[in-house]
Structure 1
């Protein structure tokens, strides 16, 4: 975990984060070079595949160097920083146990005055911590030695994830807590208190040896503010605690019932989750995008809606007609993959799905035989299915069997997206918002109506050339709607 890198400097390395995690990304440094840090003070915030964690440094002193910028990903065992702790500190530094960097007990079995060794308590380390002295509440002053309490046999980290942090031999007694570190069960508890302005020195932990648990902090935060901060009172006098009892007393790392809400993945949400998860597992997707000048398309729509007495034409209906024309030119994207037979199945009919957001979640109604419909017919069917979706009247048949999906995420006020393909389809066209932007039109800078188009496709059914050709044709139809007359 740490090793001496000089007479008066200790090198602190990224500790074992437990749960099989082998690397972490530096999210935010909490200290700078030249800062004075206390024992067990959080020095860096890292993100793993499981959670965001504040890493405490087991040494107190002056930070002399940092390794890695924010956003850098480091493997376990990489140097994080060096701390100058004084000439006498290196004599009592924990020895390195092999190559895993776990601290071993020194010759006397007592802790070094320069560090605690309790890095990431509750997340596990690669070896049991050394036996160390404890200073109990109401004991002697800071300068007096304290007898060592009888110890139970060391328990591996996996069996006792909530190991009890202990203060160095020269730390002040926890009765006043002074300026020394406050023992907490994990860095997450320390952060919870700091974000809510709670002074941990005013709490009496209910865990073994006064260890402050998450419940203690939450109880203090719920206490009435009129009488000041109310400490979490530990019931009864301190008593020896065995390793098995300490493990049983420590709470599970999952969120408490008061702060967690469980939402069942069932119904529409469950079906969407299953389909999207399968899509992500099976489909090697890729995305390409292009900006297009939609000024002519918007003008054509305005003209259509100003002439005659028919229903109004929507932008989505126009884009749906563009999709069917593009799929006629690039049928590879109107297909599915039979994984068992290892075959690409190209489909002759276009059943066009479109994403619709409802109070029950995201659904994808399907317009049957979209390739046979006019813009007006497409518009009417889109309205009918959207109304049924919002009222919860869609049947399973209206939500399945799509061959290509049109996703208009521009209604949410965003420009671009990389959506997940609606399994078992092979592609999805995404449309962002249409907004005025500077654009070079006929050699002159002008304000035009611009839209971003993106195509996410299954790379098994075609290569980038086909996907790019499809997207370019769609963009050309948006910029020059007259191109659609060729297919009418």
Structure 2
């Protein structure tokens, strides 16, 4: 006896409530093992491969690549525990015997919309979430075909939930009335576009496969409604009126008529990492009364010290690691800047460990990996950890835990060839140190004009946790260590 189990998008931790499907790792009909990754999703923190806790045959997938799903939404269904000659006992949860991907693909090619199956005809078949196999793999295969039919429609809908078993598996009732159940729409974003503009999706005929409504169809209907100078919703007296769809080749960025007053352009959804950055930066600006101070420093001696350290034959030390070492020493002297503000309790929470974040630019946007317990690491350990986290950031394999929990951020924007900046604090931290490029400049050194390696340092701080005197003292100490690295050795 086989049982169809539904696997839902799990809670990925760190307060995350949704994720975007980036890439499916399995197809309908594939055999999966327990804890095998089945989908790659992108959260606001990182790319994550999600393993399935069941072993068996994938009977349905929910959501196309690019679809955002909330935590708890169905991801896949898996038929588990089939009995077969020489196989496992029913309900064991192990992989089905003798049912492979190639056979599943062949069966999918034979399925036709509306075609009844033995499993669908069986009393209490898919309607109660089980597939009756009567002890044979052939019966199970019929249940797989039925589920595959349903999954094709549900994946096209972009729906993440099902109101009832008959909505999800229309073949169990033998009806295909398009007015019943959800309208097939390519993604939730298109459904939201229609909803926000008052457009009834039931009045459209989709130009996609099997009547799937595309974004171009919705935009065409909105432009047509605007050009005719009428409301976009169809009067209730004509419940089955149809709006002619756009040709499938119509691009989503087709210019709207001048009557709409909407300028043309390309829209990029604020989601994933980009959306998380936007939310965090907006919150920082709303909640934190920040201020910035800066100073130019002569980094010539720091650069010489690094050259001497790397000439000793040991592991190479990065400049970022030296700056991080200076930061942790400065925070030990000015712990107010390693704090966070609890506005509900109206308290400043001073933290006893430094989890140092650093800005890393990747193809997917700006991320801030966190070096845990940076105050306890030497320059060599910091160099190794920076290298590891940077490589993981570029590969998109950082975990949510490696991207959260920072208490202070070091931002080396000098790698972009700029001298200065006023950083936005990484909420809920209290400060960020920015470092510009190090370039030769005329500088008065020991009473004479000379060419020295000069860098601009800037500190943005939360004015609730300290005043300018504390912030200035922190930045001055950092500058002194940059100009004379021996200062750091005296204070360790």
TM-score (structure 2 length as normaliser): 0.48
Higher relative contact order at CA 8 Å, sep ≥6: structure 1 or structure 2?
A: 2
- Larger Rg computed on CA atoms: 1
When you count helix as a share of all residues, which structure comes out higher? Answer: 2
